[in-house]
Structure 1
Amino acid sequence: MGMHDNSRCINCEWAVAGTGQKFCPNCGQPTPVHRIDWHFLGHELEHSVLHMDRGILYSLKQLMLRPGVLLRDYIEGRRGNQVKPLLLITMMSAAVVLLNKLVSGGSLIDGGAHQAIATGQAVPEQLQQFMLASRTVGEWISGHFAAFTLMLLPFEALTFWLVFRRFSRLNYPEWLVISTLLTVQTFVIWLLLIPLHRWLPYAQSLAGLMGMVYGAASLMQFFATRPLLSTLWRTAVALGVFSVTSTVLVLVATIVVTWRA
């Protein structure tokens, strides 16, 4: 493979001023171009993932240890060291799926509704069809977990925006970012609980409950200058309404699958 002449930008052919120039002033392309080798991959891993003052680990550490500060920094525009929320939630949802498959090998969705079928218990035919449909929906969610998570985020953000709209000046897109980061918190907790699946058979439900508590604490820290009880009850209402909404959506999907069966 022939290497590019580093005296010019590989993207727009703009002349490079010298070896000290790190980016093209015309288009922003990094200069000089580095060949992809082990040194390059190690450098990318260090600076994009493992670097202590930026990257994935930094964002996760801030999100779990100083969530209110991170939320405030991101909303107010101090985002230079942070991983994009959409990338973060996609990577964390993939990590949940992978770790759950490696550790437990089971479905991500707490199973229990269809255990009667597996154990051979006698159930009415209509209930059996509903339970089979529930399993089908659960398997679809497990197989498309990242997409399912992203589908629910607009509902969660809308709930928070409606409940908090008289309390703060945050707009809907800002709540969409906050909801994304709060969901990432729940995924981090879930990742910590998955290795304990033998002792915690309902890790997903426990992670969801703990995530709600952590999310409430994060928003109280975010709205530190506002009345604590006002933040707390609004958070509880928003999380409660969203939990009911997501449950209803899954139930509707199950009913549709049952009806089409």
Structure 2
Amino acid sequence: MGDASMCINCGLAVANPEQKFCPACGQPTPVHRIDWRFLGHELEHSVLHMDRGILYSLKELMLRPGHLMRGYLEGRRAKQVKPLLLLMISAAAVLLLGKLLLDGDIVGSAMELGFAGSGAPKAGAGMDPTALAATFAAAKDWLNGHMTAFTLLCLPLEAAAFWLAFKGRGLNYPEWLVVSAVLTVQSFVFMALAIVLQRWIPSAQAWVLLCVVAYTVFSLVQLFNRHSGWTSALRALVGLGMFMVAQSLMVGAGVFVLFLLFSRG
């Protein structure tokens, strides 16, 4: 199809008839007609290659997370799935498992328990208990239905917290966004396992936070393996602490606004 001596997309002359892509725009050269062979080739490269990349990235993420992140930051990215794409896929997997096994209630009662121990408004302290119950129900429903959006909203906070905690270690803020995305995928893996195991181990989801904290520290110590492990672990805990405080304030502010709306309604 088309003139084999030039790129059909941008018109650049093809210097070598054996070249596979145009150096100017990336268009495949020569262009092949869509037939069964073409569709089979596209299926192999677009689906199977991505599947292999996902399996490789997930395996490395759980076994050698620090090395995986360092390799991506240093440019060894051919075998890896892009962190944001992997984040979307893992979030979708958690949502699907939640719908199938938890009737869509991924957040569960954890949010109410968390706010009960915090400085959140409590019934009996001059607060309308009906409005309070409606507030928690609405917030829980929103988090259950918009987990991916909430995760993306929290990602800049997590990156900022680790950027501050590890200042002087050579990573800029955009690089910490990538690291935070990878760490979030890791947390989704633990969430997915907890959802699956909850049928046999009712307290499985209660262990997720502990696993996430421990694996985050392990991952960052491995990422900065040229530095003192104890210092890296301490910085990781400080970064996690700052992120959790910022995340709690953000969620608390949202719940407070909802409470005001329900109180006036």
State if a TM-score over 0.5 links the two structures: yes
Instruction: Say if 1:112 and 1:189 are closer, same or farther in 2 by CA, change over 3 A.
Output: closer
CA displacement at 1:96 relative to structure 2:
0.8
> Are 1:57 and 2:58 counterparts?
no
Report the aligned-residue RMSD: 2.5
Counterpart of 2:165 (choices 163, 166, 173) is 163
Q: Unmatched 5+ residue regions in structure 1? A: 116-122
| Secondary structure of the structure 1 residue equivalent to 2:128 | helix
Give the 5 Å matches for 1:133-172.
Answer: 133-166=135-168, 168-172=169-173
CA distance in 1, matches of 2:260, 2:210: 31
What letter corresponds to residue 5 of structure 1 in structure 2? G
Match of 1:151, as an amino acid? L
Residues 107 and 142 in structure 1, CA contact (< 8 A), matched pair in contact too: yes
Determine the C-alpha separation between the residues in 2 that align with 1:36 and 1:205.
52
- Tell which deviates more after alignment, 8-17 or 156-165: 8-17
The gaps in structure 2 that reach 5 residues or longer are 114-122
Equivalent residue, structure 2, for 1:118: none
Is structure 2 residue 28 aligned with structure 1 residue 27?
A: no
> How do 1:250-261 and structure 2 match up within 5 A?
250-261=251-262
The CA deviation at 1:107 is: 1.4
Deviation at 1:90, TM superposition (A): 1.3
Q: Report what 1:68 is aligned to.
A: 66
**1:13: how far off?**
3.8
Q: Distance in 2 between matches of 1:49 and 1:33?
A: 26
Letter in 1 for 2:129: L
Question: Which residue of structure 2 lines up, in the alignment, with residue 182 of structure 1?
Answer: 183
TM-score calculated relative to the size of structure 1: 0.84
The separation in 2 between residues aligned to 1:29 and 1:184, in whole angstroms, is 32
| CA separation of 1:113 and 1:238: change in aligned 2, threshold 3 A | closer
Are the counterparts in 1 of residues 95 and 104 from structure 2 also a CA contact under 8 Å? no
Residue aligned with 2:80, SS = coil
CA contact (8 A) 1:109 1:142 kept: yes
CA distance change for structure 1 residues 113 and 173 in 2, over 3 Å: closer, same or farther? closer
- Per the alignment, residue 194 of structure 1 pairs with 195
Distance in 1 (CA, whole Å) between partners of 2:141 and 2:31 is 45
- Deviation sequence 1:74-121 (CA, Å, 0-9, x none): 222222322211111111111111121122213121326679xxxxxx
CA 1:113 to 1:242, structure 2 compared with 1: closer, same or farther past 3 Å?
closer
Following the alignment from structure 1 to structure 2, what is the Cα–Cα distance between the partners of residues 70 and 113? 32
Distance 1:11 1:200, change over 3 A: farther
Output aligned runs, 1:117-128, within 5 Å: 126-128=128-130
Call closer, same or farther: CA 1:32–1:61 in 2, change over 3 Å: farther
Partner of 1:119: none
Distance 1:246 1:114, change over 3 A: closer
